[in-house]
Amino acid sequence: MEVEYLSHGLPLADYQLTKADHRRQQEKVREHEWVQRQVAKFPTSLSEESKERLRQLLGPPVPAWKLHRWRLRLYCGHVIEATRIQDSPRPDEGICDEERCPECGLDPAVIVAFEPLGPVADPPPETSPPG
């Protein structure tokens, strides 16, 4: 199935923040602070058994050919590149609607505008079974 990638808020450099952007950023900051308080309650070290269970739950890393590159404008105004799973037409769906800004360090910084750039890598060539 071919995904039709969407754009929002182009050109990114001229995007003006909306009330909804401000509201989303405030909500994300509150969520982030709550998560940080919860994580602070966890033990500081994990047993090897717990680490292995986490690895099994998370599964193997996603191969590069299943990722798509995006140019994102963050709430702070900085424009960055990021990758997402190729199956989504938008980079801000689900739990990936925010980033940590590598320029100013704002964490979380909601995505307010975006444009698709293309796949991270080409898929491997299909191999036909011998015979």
Write b or e for each residue in 13-32: b if 16 or more Cβ atoms lie within 10 A of its Cβ, otherwise e: eebebeeebeebbeebbeee
- Kindly tell me the burial class for residue 86, based on how many C-beta atoms sit within 10 Å of its own C-beta (0-12, 13-18, 19 or more): middle
Q: Using CA atoms, how far apart are residues 111 and 71, in angstroms rounded to an integer?
A: 10
- Tell me the CB-side half-sphere exposure of residue 6, using CA atoms within 13 A: 10
Q: State whether residue 60 is helix, strand or coil.
A: coil
Q: What is the pLDDT of residue 69?
A: 96
Q: Which residues pair with 2 in a beta bridge?
A: none
Backbone angles phi, psi at 16, to 5 degrees: -105, 130
Of 125, 124, 109, 114, the C-alpha closest to 84 is 114
Query: Which band of pLDDT confidence, cut at 50, 70 and 90, is reported for residue 130?
Result: low
Q: What is the pLDDT of residue 1?
A: 62
Give 67-123 pLDDT, tens digit per residue: 999 999 999 999 999 999 899 899 988 778 899 999 999 999 999 999 999 999 998
Please tell me the pTM assigned to this model.
Answer: 0.81
Cβ–Cβ under 8 Å, residues 33 and 83: no
Give 32-75 pLDDT, tens digit per residue: 999 999 988 887 788 889 889 888 898 888 999 999 999 999 99
Q: What is the pLDDT of residue 128?
A: 58
